[in-house]
Amino acid sequence: MTEQRQRKVRSRKSIQKGGAITVEHARQRIYEKKVKEQLLEEAREKRERTRMVNVERKMQLRAGIDARKAERTRKKDLHEFHKSNPDTEPPIGLHTEIIDPDVTQKKREEEEEADQLLAIEESGRWFENQRLESNQTIDATEGRWEVEALLAKSKVGNVIWYLVKWAGFRDEDNTWQKRDDISSDLINDFEAIRVQLLKKREQKGKIEYFAKWKGRPAGENSWEKEATISREGILEFEAK
Protein backbone atom coordinates (compact mmCIF):
# COMPACT_ATOMS: atom_id res chain seq x y z
CA MET A 1 0.00 0.00 0.00
CA THR A 2 1.42 3.35 -1.01
CA GLU A 3 2.16 6.02 1.58
CA GLN A 4 -0.52 8.28 0.07
CA ARG A 5 -3.08 5.46 0.32
CA GLN A 6 -2.08 4.79 3.93
CA ARG A 7 -2.60 8.46 4.81
CA LYS A 8 -6.09 8.31 3.28
CA VAL A 9 -6.94 5.18 5.27
CA ARG A 10 -5.67 6.71 8.52
CA SER A 11 -7.64 9.87 7.79
CA ARG A 12 -10.80 7.84 7.11
CA LYS A 13 -10.32 5.86 10.31
CA SER A 14 -9.91 9.01 12.37
CA ILE A 15 -13.13 10.41 10.90
CA GLN A 16 -15.06 7.18 11.58
CA LYS A 17 -13.69 6.72 15.10
CA GLY A 18 -16.52 6.18 17.54
CA GLY A 19 -18.89 4.67 14.98
CA ALA A 20 -20.42 5.45 11.62
CA ILE A 21 -21.25 9.08 10.86
CA THR A 22 -23.35 10.76 8.22
CA VAL A 23 -21.86 12.39 5.16
CA GLU A 24 -23.11 15.76 6.39
CA HIS A 25 -21.44 15.24 9.75
CA ALA A 26 -18.19 14.26 8.05
CA ARG A 27 -18.33 17.37 5.87
CA GLN A 28 -18.93 19.50 8.96
CA ARG A 29 -15.87 18.03 10.65
CA ILE A 30 -13.75 18.63 7.57
CA TYR A 31 -15.02 22.21 7.40
CA GLU A 32 -14.23 22.78 11.09
CA LYS A 33 -10.77 21.35 10.56
CA LYS A 34 -10.15 23.72 7.64
CA VAL A 35 -11.38 26.68 9.69
CA LYS A 36 -9.09 25.70 12.57
CA GLU A 37 -6.13 25.38 10.20
CA GLN A 38 -6.94 28.77 8.71
CA LEU A 39 -7.10 30.38 12.16
CA LEU A 40 -3.79 28.79 13.11
CA GLU A 41 -2.22 30.06 9.89
CA GLU A 42 -3.54 33.57 10.53
CA ALA A 43 -2.15 33.42 14.07
CA ARG A 44 1.24 32.31 12.73
CA GLU A 45 1.24 35.15 10.21
CA LYS A 46 0.33 37.63 12.94
CA ARG A 47 3.14 36.36 15.17
CA GLU A 48 5.56 36.65 12.27
CA ARG A 49 4.46 40.24 11.58
CA THR A 50 4.90 41.08 15.26
CA ARG A 51 8.33 39.44 15.26
CA MET A 52 9.40 41.42 12.20
CA VAL A 53 8.21 44.68 13.78
CA ASN A 54 10.16 43.85 16.95
CA VAL A 55 13.26 42.96 14.93
CA GLU A 56 12.99 46.22 13.00
CA ARG A 57 12.57 48.17 16.23
CA LYS A 58 15.58 46.44 17.81
CA MET A 59 17.66 47.21 14.73
CA GLN A 60 16.59 50.84 14.94
CA LEU A 61 17.50 50.99 18.63
CA ARG A 62 20.86 49.38 17.88
CA ALA A 63 21.48 51.88 15.09
CA GLY A 64 20.60 54.71 17.49
CA ILE A 65 23.05 53.43 20.11
CA ASP A 66 25.80 53.06 17.50
CA ALA A 67 25.08 56.54 16.10
CA ARG A 68 25.23 58.19 19.54
CA LYS A 69 28.46 56.36 20.33
CA ALA A 70 29.99 57.41 17.01
CA GLU A 71 28.88 61.02 17.54
CA ARG A 72 30.54 61.12 20.98
CA THR A 73 33.73 59.75 19.44
CA ARG A 74 33.55 62.34 16.64
CA LYS A 75 33.19 65.22 19.11
CA LYS A 76 36.06 63.89 21.20
CA ASP A 77 38.30 63.52 18.13
CA LEU A 78 37.35 67.00 16.92
CA HIS A 79 38.20 68.47 20.31
CA GLU A 80 41.56 66.68 20.35
CA PHE A 81 42.28 67.84 16.79
CA HIS A 82 41.62 71.49 17.70
CA LYS A 83 43.91 71.18 20.72
CA SER A 84 46.73 69.65 18.68
CA ASN A 85 46.22 71.72 15.50
CA PRO A 86 44.67 75.06 16.48
CA ASP A 87 45.48 76.69 13.14
CA THR A 88 44.51 73.79 10.89
CA GLU A 89 41.10 73.10 9.39
CA PRO A 90 39.91 69.66 10.58
CA PRO A 91 38.95 66.97 8.05
CA ILE A 92 35.40 67.13 6.72
CA GLY A 93 34.60 63.84 8.45
CA LEU A 94 35.09 65.46 11.85
CA HIS A 95 32.85 68.36 10.84
CA THR A 96 29.92 66.17 9.78
CA GLU A 97 27.45 65.48 12.59
CA ILE A 98 26.32 61.85 12.92
CA ILE A 99 22.53 61.84 13.06
CA ASP A 100 20.74 59.62 15.57
CA PRO A 101 18.05 57.70 13.60
CA ASP A 102 15.92 57.45 16.76
CA VAL A 103 15.79 61.24 17.04
CA THR A 104 15.05 61.54 13.32
CA GLN A 105 12.18 59.03 13.62
CA LYS A 106 10.66 60.77 16.65
CA LYS A 107 10.91 64.14 14.94
CA ARG A 108 9.22 62.71 11.84
CA GLU A 109 6.41 61.27 13.99
CA GLU A 110 5.92 64.62 15.75
CA GLU A 111 5.75 66.37 12.39
CA GLU A 112 3.19 63.83 11.12
CA GLU A 113 1.08 64.29 14.26
CA ALA A 114 1.26 68.06 13.89
CA ASP A 115 0.15 67.70 10.25
CA GLN A 116 -2.80 65.57 11.38
CA LEU A 117 -3.86 68.17 13.93
CA LEU A 118 -3.54 70.90 11.31
CA ALA A 119 -5.66 68.86 8.88
CA ILE A 120 -8.39 68.54 11.52
CA GLU A 121 -8.25 72.28 12.13
CA GLU A 122 -8.51 73.08 8.42
CA SER A 123 -11.40 70.63 7.99
CA GLY A 124 -13.59 72.91 10.10
CA ARG A 125 -14.02 70.43 12.95
CA TRP A 126 -12.09 72.66 15.33
CA PHE A 127 -13.61 74.63 18.17
CA GLU A 128 -11.54 77.75 18.83
CA ASN A 129 -11.33 80.15 21.76
CA GLN A 130 -13.76 78.45 24.09
CA ARG A 131 -12.94 76.96 27.46
CA LEU A 132 -14.43 73.51 27.98
CA GLU A 133 -16.08 73.31 31.39
CA SER A 134 -17.03 70.20 33.35
CA ASN A 135 -20.55 68.91 32.52
CA GLN A 136 -20.93 71.80 30.08
CA THR A 137 -24.20 71.96 28.14
CA ILE A 138 -24.62 74.91 25.80
CA ASP A 139 -26.86 75.47 22.78
CA ALA A 140 -25.10 74.22 19.64
CA THR A 141 -26.59 77.12 17.68
CA GLU A 142 -24.26 79.39 19.64
CA GLY A 143 -21.27 77.39 18.45
CA ARG A 144 -20.66 75.49 21.70
CA TRP A 145 -21.30 71.86 22.62
CA GLU A 146 -21.44 69.47 25.58
CA VAL A 147 -18.23 67.63 26.39
CA GLU A 148 -18.90 63.93 26.95
CA ALA A 149 -15.35 62.84 27.79
CA LEU A 150 -11.65 63.25 27.15
CA LEU A 151 -10.37 60.18 25.28
CA ALA A 152 -6.65 60.63 24.77
CA LYS A 153 -3.67 62.86 25.39
CA SER A 154 -0.91 63.92 23.01
CA LYS A 155 2.07 66.26 23.02
CA VAL A 156 3.29 68.12 19.96
CA GLY A 157 6.40 70.13 20.70
CA ASN A 158 5.70 71.84 24.03
CA VAL A 159 1.91 71.89 23.59
CA ILE A 160 -0.33 69.27 25.22
CA TRP A 161 -3.55 68.31 23.43
CA TYR A 162 -6.57 66.26 24.51
CA LEU A 163 -8.92 64.35 22.23
CA VAL A 164 -12.48 65.50 23.05
CA LYS A 165 -15.59 63.36 22.61
CA TRP A 166 -18.63 65.61 22.03
CA ALA A 167 -22.01 64.49 23.38
CA GLY A 168 -24.44 63.69 20.58
CA PHE A 169 -21.72 63.57 17.92
CA ARG A 170 -20.11 60.60 16.16
CA ASP A 171 -16.58 59.38 16.85
CA GLU A 172 -15.34 60.93 13.61
CA ASP A 173 -16.36 64.32 15.03
CA ASN A 174 -13.95 64.01 17.97
CA THR A 175 -11.45 66.88 17.98
CA TRP A 176 -8.08 67.71 19.53
CA GLN A 177 -8.08 70.69 21.91
CA LYS A 178 -5.23 72.48 23.66
CA ARG A 179 -4.80 71.84 27.39
CA ASP A 180 -5.20 75.58 28.13
CA ASP A 181 -8.70 75.48 26.61
CA ILE A 182 -9.92 72.66 28.87
CA SER A 183 -11.01 73.01 32.49
CA SER A 184 -8.85 71.45 35.20
CA ASP A 185 -11.85 69.36 36.39
CA LEU A 186 -12.07 67.54 33.07
CA ILE A 187 -8.32 67.01 32.95
CA ASN A 188 -8.18 65.74 36.54
CA ASP A 189 -11.02 63.28 35.85
CA PHE A 190 -9.21 62.05 32.75
CA GLU A 191 -5.87 61.63 34.52
CA ALA A 192 -7.53 59.92 37.53
CA ILE A 193 -8.69 56.97 35.44
CA ARG A 194 -5.81 57.02 33.00
CA VAL A 195 -4.23 53.66 32.19
CA GLN A 196 -0.53 53.39 31.42
CA LEU A 197 0.46 50.45 29.21
CA LEU A 198 3.79 48.99 30.30
CA LYS A 199 4.28 45.81 28.27
CA LYS A 200 2.81 43.81 25.42
CA ARG A 201 2.54 40.08 24.79
CA GLU A 202 0.76 37.56 22.59
CA GLN A 203 -1.22 34.77 24.24
CA LYS A 204 -2.83 32.07 22.09
CA GLY A 205 -2.79 34.37 19.08
CA LYS A 206 -4.32 37.32 20.95
CA ILE A 207 -2.57 40.54 21.95
CA GLU A 208 -2.59 41.64 25.60
CA TYR A 209 -1.19 44.72 27.35
CA PHE A 210 0.13 44.96 30.90
CA ALA A 211 -1.72 47.94 32.38
CA LYS A 212 -0.79 50.17 35.31
CA TRP A 213 -3.85 51.86 36.77
CA LYS A 214 -3.19 55.42 37.90
CA GLY A 215 -3.66 55.88 41.63
CA ARG A 216 -3.51 52.14 42.34
CA PRO A 217 -0.62 50.07 43.78
CA ALA A 218 1.66 48.11 41.48
CA GLY A 219 0.15 44.89 42.83
CA GLU A 220 -3.04 45.73 40.94
CA ASN A 221 -1.28 45.98 37.58
CA SER A 222 -2.90 43.50 35.22
CA TRP A 223 -2.82 41.98 31.74
CA GLU A 224 -5.74 43.27 29.68
CA LYS A 225 -7.01 42.08 26.31
CA GLU A 226 -6.41 44.36 23.32
CA ALA A 227 -10.17 44.77 22.80
CA THR A 228 -10.57 46.33 26.27
CA ILE A 229 -7.95 49.05 25.69
CA SER A 230 -8.79 52.24 23.83
CA ARG A 231 -7.34 52.60 20.34
CA GLU A 232 -5.73 55.89 21.35
CA GLY A 233 -4.02 54.23 24.32
CA ILE A 234 -2.61 51.50 22.10
CA LEU A 235 -1.38 54.01 19.53
CA GLU A 236 0.30 56.00 22.29
CA PHE A 237 2.01 52.83 23.60
CA GLU A 238 3.17 51.69 20.14
CA ALA A 239 4.57 55.15 19.40
CA LYS A 240 7.01 54.98 22.33
Which tens digit of pLDDT belongs to each residue from 161-203? 888 888 888 877 788 888 888 887 787 777 656 678 889 998 8
Does 137 score more than 70 pLDDT?
A: no
Sign of CA dihedral 233, 234, 237, 238: negative
Extended beta strands in the chain, E state: 147-156, 159-166, 175-178, 195-203, 206-213, 222-225
**Distance from the first to the final alpha carbon of the chain:** 60
How many other CB atoms are there within 10 angstroms of residue 19's CB atom? 5
pLDDT of residue 133: 44
Distance CA(56)–CA(198), nearest Å, equals 20
Residues 63-77: what's their mean pLDDT? 83
pTM of structure: 0.30
Question: Residue 181 carries which DSSP code?
Answer: G
pLDDT of residue 129: 35
